[in-house]
Structure 1
Amino acid sequence: MDTKGVIRAKGAIRARALSLGFDACRFASAEADPLQAERLREWLDIGAHGDMAWMAETAERRAAPGALWPDVRSVVMLGMNYGPADDPLAALDRRGAGAISVYARNRDYHDLIKGRLKELAAFIIKRAGGGDVKVFVDTAPVMEKPLAQRAGLGWQGKHTNLVSREFGSWLFLGAIFTDIALDPDPDERDHCGSCRNCLEACPTQAFVAPYQLDARRCVSYLTIEHKGPIPREFRHAIGNRIYGCDDCLAVCPWNKFAQASREAKLAPRADLESPPLAELAGLDDAAFRAVFTGSPIKRIGRARFLRNVLIAIGNSGDASLAPEAERLLNDPEPLLRGAAVWALSRLAPQRLVALQPFFVSETDETVREEWAKETHWAKK
């Protein structure tokens, strides 16, 4: 295509993207970025990715678009606004209820966006009269945020997430790699200035420096990716956050320009805006799957989710929730039995003496350690 043809093609692609429900569409080159690759290696070398071994395993392919697909010439970056209508931080004051990250209050965005990306990719091929494409949405080794900044969708803020002048910190990202040559758009410069709101808002001090996140301290990582017991040093700070955390996103000043999402499929489910902890603690495996079918929460499974619920119960200060924790001392999952001991030690420590038979019959060492840390008689 000549220059005019490329301009027309980009305009047509952008118009089609908006008609499919995307809120932003821009274009980036597929060139390698040695600086981003080096930053990724340094981050992995210090172990800041925690249990996410797949990040280290795919580091080489993640470093550049061409390492993932040698034929790629251009990248189409898409953004979909998922901005909330209400302040998500308000949910943190409802201690008898759980706080779920904005992105997880309805259906899994991966499924929604991937379907739209496939439609747009088919349009690109048809419009160009040939070519090849690959679509990605957060599940492949693609550095979406640096590519989004390169395309001009926004910039990586000090909280390491993308910030948009139009949509604040509330953009889902998707990418289409293509072997069709499309001129890149200008990139976006950093507009964070001297602001430190996101760094200071983090409840677990997960930012070791501006633009540097230690995932091992991040509430989102701890409540979603981390498979074992929540480290004791972070339990109180987690509060009632039972799936993810929006604190660093919600305090960004650029959100003053953000608007509530126009995508109906991203509208929050009423039962997930402030779900009662007592109800969640009562979910068996079948009920958990039924409640969270189509939700990203289903991916982590009942054990991890109820582990988070028990931490929130322990932080609630509501002794009426103690029976929910006590009931889970009998659960088949050691992860839940251990979290239940901790929750009871916060709400009804006097009950632990009467519950000593649970310790005596406990065979899992990690659960016995929880008992030992909360009672004098269970110490070795």
Structure 2
Amino acid sequence: MDEPQNDPKVIKRRTNLTGFLRKEAEAQGFDLCRITLPDAIPQAPERLQQFVDAGRHGTMAWMEETKERRGDPRVLWSDVRSIVMFGMNYGPDEDPRALQALPDKAAISVYARNRDYHDVIKGRLKEIATRFAARAGADVKVFVDTAPVMEKPLAAAAGLGWQGKHTNLVSREFGSWLFLGSLFTTAELEIDEGERDHCGSCRACLDACPTDAFPAPYQIDARRCISYLTIEHKGVIDAALRPAFGNRIYGCDDCLAACPWNKFAAEAREMKLKARDDLKAPDIAFFLTLDDSGFRTYFSGSPVKRIGRDRFVRNVLIAAGNSGSAALVPACESLLDDVSADVRGMAVWALARLVLPDRFAALRGEHLPREVDGTVRAEWMMES
């Protein structure tokens, strides 16, 4: 039988356990730690269903397959009584959009310029969970973007921030730069109030999107989002969208960086989340030379490694085609014979923008007759 919630002993226990969690979170380098109930996001299932029904999840079939568990934490784990949301600041030391003025450089999303945050945060959460479970005598589960958990709505319900018009979490203290993690527990804890929306009439994030990926405020169509297309999407990227990618080769920070609340943001404290010097403004030319072994070595421990060399070089070739740099032509030409059809196809697209028509016609005459992949053949013919 459950103990009365207004029993002084129960209240004191909740208070002590909550205080213990907050101290542990601070000791592990988290900037925010707040708590909500598992039934705090009642509108999530309907909104998720609408998103999937509209096809805005693109090729992320797992979103449809897990929508019941994703929409309701109690379906994921029926025994959960409290959900603890953690936030860790990963703010950059400068506006990442400045890199767009350097077309021969590659732009990698701020979150991926050092260690994989999943590893950093999950390790810290497991340490907190172990000590908390021993103290509370309760069951716990931790999640960091690796299970069907709607972290942003739960974080808003817990008061870490609110979901802005770009659908991402915005914090009054840290702007748009927060990594999230969660701890589900059977323990009863003190519940925090949610954060109200502070976007007002601002639409800076919507107007900043290079590919117009927001059908309306608070709605996103992943099929037009550069982050989705460069990271999650396999195969051919819509030719009509490629010019808008600019030099963005892994993710996009434009809608995040445009938010006025970033004026309160601070640089990340965690060294593993601060940008590596060689990933702040890397050369497109260098990335075009990476084979599979070189790619895996260079991005060891990085989230970039997850997409694999072929998808990565596909993205880099789009940036090369947008660069206008003739210096990249030899590297692009060498990739016309790459083992990956995705790479060969984007090499065709890049060269169509970097060489004179006569040179492109000569390349087509040399490579098209022996090309067996229909998608690559289509790229050659499209650029005729």
SS at match of 1:174: strand
Pairwise CA distance, 1:12? 1.7
| Counterpart AA for 1:64 | D
Task: Choose the corresponding residue for 2:320, options 313, 316, 324.
Answer: 313
Superposed CA deviations along residues 49-70 of structure 1, whole A, max 9, x for unmatched, are: 0010001000011011110011
CA–CA distance in 1 between the matches of 2:74 and 2:40? 7
CA contact (8 A) 2:41 2:157 kept: no
CA–CA distance in 1 between the matches of 2:31 and 2:349? 44
CA–CA distance in 1 between the matches of 2:171 and 2:215? 23
Q: In the TM superposition, what are the counterparts of 1:28-43 in structure 2 within 5 Å? A: 28-31=36-39, 33-43=41-51
Aligned: 1:88 with 2:93: no
User: Corresponding residue for 1:240?
Assistant: 247
CA contact (8 A) 1:315 1:346 kept: yes
Deviates more, 1:326-335 or 1:264-273: 264-273
| Counterpart AA for 2:92 | P
| Counterpart AA for 2:23 | A
Pairwise CA distance, 1:325? 0.8
SS at match of 1:140: coil
SS at match of 2:43: helix
CA contact (8 A) 2:97 2:254 kept: yes
SS at match of 1:90: helix
SS at match of 2:141: strand
Aligned: 1:365 with 2:366: no
SS at match of 2:184: strand
Pairwise CA distance, 1:233? 1.0
Superposed CA deviations along residues 100-155 of structure 1, whole A, max 9, x for unmatched, are: 00000001000000000001111211221x11000000110000000000100000
Pairwise CA distance, 1:270? 1.0
Aligned: 1:188 with 2:186: no
Pairwise CA distance, 1:34? 3.0
CA contact (8 A) 1:32 1:63 kept: no
CA–CA distance in 1 between the matches of 2:104 and 2:304? 20
Aligned: 1:175 with 2:175: no
CA contact (8 A) 1:61 1:68 kept: yes
| Counterpart AA for 1:12 | F
Superposed CA deviations along residues 341-363 of structure 1, whole A, max 9, x for unmatched, are: 00000010432222121111100
Pairwise CA distance, 1:32? 5.8
CA–CA distance in 2 between the matches of 1:248 and 1:170? 11
CA–CA distance in 1 between the matches of 2:356 and 2:166? 38
Aligned: 1:22 with 2:30: yes
Aligned: 1:12 with 2:12: no
Aligned: 1:126 with 2:134: yes
Task: Choose the corresponding residue for 2:110, options 102, 107, 114.
Answer: 102
Q: In the TM superposition, what are the counterparts of 1:215-294 in structure 2 within 5 Å? A: 215-294=222-301
SS at match of 2:88: strand
SS at match of 1:135: strand
Task: Choose the corresponding residue for 1:78, options 79, 86, 97.
Answer: 86
Superposed CA deviations along residues 161-202 of structure 1, whole A, max 9, x for unmatched, are: 000000000000000000111121001100000000000000
User: Corresponding residue for 1:378?
Assistant: none
CA contact (8 A) 1:282 1:324 kept: yes
Superposed CA deviations along residues 292-334 of structure 1, whole A, max 9, x for unmatched, are: 1110000000110000000000000111111111110010000
Task: Choose the corresponding residue for 1:63, options 71, 74, 85.
Answer: 71
SS at match of 2:215: strand
Q: In the TM superposition, what are the counterparts of 1:42-61 in structure 2 within 5 Å? A: 42-61=50-69
User: Corresponding residue for 1:302?
Assistant: 309
CA–CA distance in 1 between the matches of 2:356 and 2:284? 19
Q: Which runs of 4+ in 1 moved over 3 A?
A: none
| TM-score of the aligned structures, taking structure 1 as reference length | 0.97
CA contact (8 A) 2:41 2:154 kept: no
Aligned length: 374
Deviates more, 1:193-202 or 1:348-357: 348-357
| Counterpart AA for 2:234 | K
CA–CA distance in 2 between the matches of 1:37 and 1:349? 53
CA–CA distance in 2 between the matches of 1:158 and 1:4? 39
SS at match of 2:36: strand
* TM-align CA RMSD: 0.9
SS at match of 1:209: coil
CA contact (8 A) 1:32 1:64 kept: no
Q: Percent of aligned pairs with the same residue?
A: 62
CA contact (8 A) 2:40 2:157 kept: no
| Counterpart AA for 1:297 | V
| Counterpart AA for 2:180 | L
Task: Choose the corresponding residue for 1:336, options 319, 333, 343.
Answer: 343
Task: Choose the corresponding residue for 1:140, options 144, 147, 163.
Answer: 147
